[in-house]
Amino acid sequence: MSATTSAGAPRPADSERGVLARNYSYASISDKISDLVLERPAGPGWIAAMALCTALLLLFIVAIGWLFYEGVGIWGVDIPVAWAFALTNFVWWVGIGHAGTFISAFLLLLRQKWRTSINRFAEAMTIFAVAMAGLMPILHLGRPWFFYWLMPYPSIMNVWPQWRSPLVWDIFAIGTYIIVSVLFWYMGLIPDLATLRDRATTRGRQFAYGLFALGWRGEARQWKRFETAYLLLAGLATPLVISVHTVVSLDFAVGNTPGWHSTIFPPYFVAGALFSGFAMALTIAIPLRAIFRLHDFITDRHLENMAKVLLVCGLIVGYSYATEIFIAFYGGDPFETFMVKNRMLGPYAPIYWCVLALNVALPQALWLRRVRRNALALFAVAVLVNIGMWLERFMIIVASLQRDFLPSSWGTYAPTFWDWAILIGSLGTFGWLFLMFVRFLPALSMSEMRKLAHEKAEGVV
């Protein structure tokens, strides 16, 4: 046999061993997922969604530009309600990010194989959500161009950050979280970028994917170090995700406002974060699966498992609501009891009851297997839970601030057009980033799917 290198030689048939749903082999997994990026033209659904998201992105840019020019007075915030939409958006977006890390890191450590086909886009969701979250406190600063004063650096003013303030902890938590999320996501992408580099047919794509693949060769030593480092990053990201929302909750719990000053806040916020995050993961997974016909990779079992996590988180959130009410009355503090009564019957009572309906009552439908197995019903539940969780954050922030200790300092809050523009604009920007992601990067991890196919063939899973 001669050492042939001629390009025209036909490639022999594959030994197609690896199977997944419907006998997927290593080759067909790689081809199907990379073709979403390399071959398939942008469909009308993608173009329509992109048009809408681009319009909202422009709205976001205009809203931020006007805010920087005119100041936070364009929002409805005032004393006593100095924190409103921006902080609500912040807490909500960070929470959404947490489910992505939970799926990719926590479930990896627990060896939950079903995470494999959903971890990539869940991580992308994390990064884009945390990017939106990170903008919100900066926009809210009043003098956003001085945001770097929060960082410890040897400034000529000879001052240092106040290390006892949760707001300083916050910038460390969010900053670390976004860097670690990007590292984790990019590292997982490297072998897939190499696949795209090798399968791309145009020079430009070969160059771009090749550049970002960093010359990955898939050598045995490379894989070994890669796997160890990936597992270590997962082990680091898991406590990190808990710490981030704990620190976010301390922004509130360290203040003495009734409705904020409570030791239940860290676990309550972390559960709420996972709850809203899994809702957002479902909100994205269901249309993604339908548009790109990924039913063989994102199966009904994935949706059902995510629905179960959603249900459990919903129960923990419901329990936290109950505990908050119980402690307010059991503790006997008049300001705390007033806070609970004000939430139930005060000016923002409709929001309170919506929160209970959407976050506590509605998820109970997920006890039914029929609902968990029905993509459309699940999508509806997920969207409504997202809305419910945003309202919950709004309720915690605004309904607590507007009635504090002295009736003479009470006030109300109503959002302006620019409040809404920031919220809707951030949603559009998130969507825009996500649409760009599914167009240019593999939405599912090809290398992990190949490993899954291998394990399936070996009878491991």
Partner 1 sequence: MSEPAKIYGLIAEFGDDRVLVEATKAARAAGYRNVDAYAPFAVDGLADAIGFRRDRMPLITLLGGIVGGVGAYLLQWYSAVLDYPINSGGRPLHSWPAFIPATFEMTVLGAALAAFCGMLIANGLPRLHHPVFNAPDFDLASRNRFFLCIEARDPLFDRDGTQRFLAQFEPVRVGVVPW
271-285 burial, b at 16+ Cβ within 10 Å, e below that, comes to bbbbbbbbbbbbbbb
Position 14 contacts partner 1 (CB under 8 A): yes
Binding mask 142-161 for partner 1 (x = CB under 8 A): ----------x-----xxxx
Instruction: Tell me which residue of 38, 72, 4 sits closest to 443, measured CA to CA.
Output: 38
Using left for φ > 0, alpha for ψ between -120 and 50, and beta otherwise, residue 9 falls in beta
Binding mask 224-253 for partner 1 (x = CB under 8 A): xxxxxx--xx--xx-xx--x---x--x---
Position 23 contacts partner 1 (CB under 8 A): no
Peptide bond connecting 12 to the previous residue in cis, omega within 30 degrees of 0: no
Q: Please state the closest distance from residue 352 (CB atom) to partner 1, in A.
A: 31
Binding mask 25-54 for partner 1 (x = CB under 8 A): xxx--xx-----------------------
Please report, as residue ranges, which positions from 376 to 395 form the binding site for partner 1 (by CB under 8 A).
Answer: none
| DSSP string for 113-170 | GGGGGTHHHHHHHHHHHHHHHHHHHHHTTSSGGGGGGGS----TT-----TT-HHHHH
199-221 burial, b at 16+ Cβ within 10 Å, e below that, comes to bbeeeebeebbbebbeebeeeee
C-alpha–C-alpha distance, residues 354 and 74, integer Å: 27
Position 295 contacts partner 1 (CB under 8 A): no
Position 403 contacts partner 1 (CB under 8 A): no
Instruction: Tell me which residue of 171, 151, 206, 162 sits closest to 90, measured CA to CA.
Output: 171
Specify the residue, 90 or 434, whose C-beta has the smaller distance to partner 1: 90
Position 255 contacts partner 1 (CB under 8 A): no
Position 444 contacts partner 1 (CB under 8 A): no
Candidate list 115, 120, 140, 199; residue touching partner 1; CB under 8 A = 199
Q: Please state the closest distance from residue 136 (CB atom) to partner 1, in A.
A: 19
Specify the residue, 127 or 317, whose C-beta has the smaller distance to partner 1: 127
Specify the residue, 407 or 459, whose C-beta has the smaller distance to partner 1: 459
Candidate list 97, 191, 259, 266; residue touching partner 1; CB under 8 A = 191
Instruction: Tell me which residue of 36, 28, 53, 114 sits closest to 292, measured CA to CA.
Output: 36
Candidate list 67, 103, 194, 371; residue touching partner 1; CB under 8 A = 194
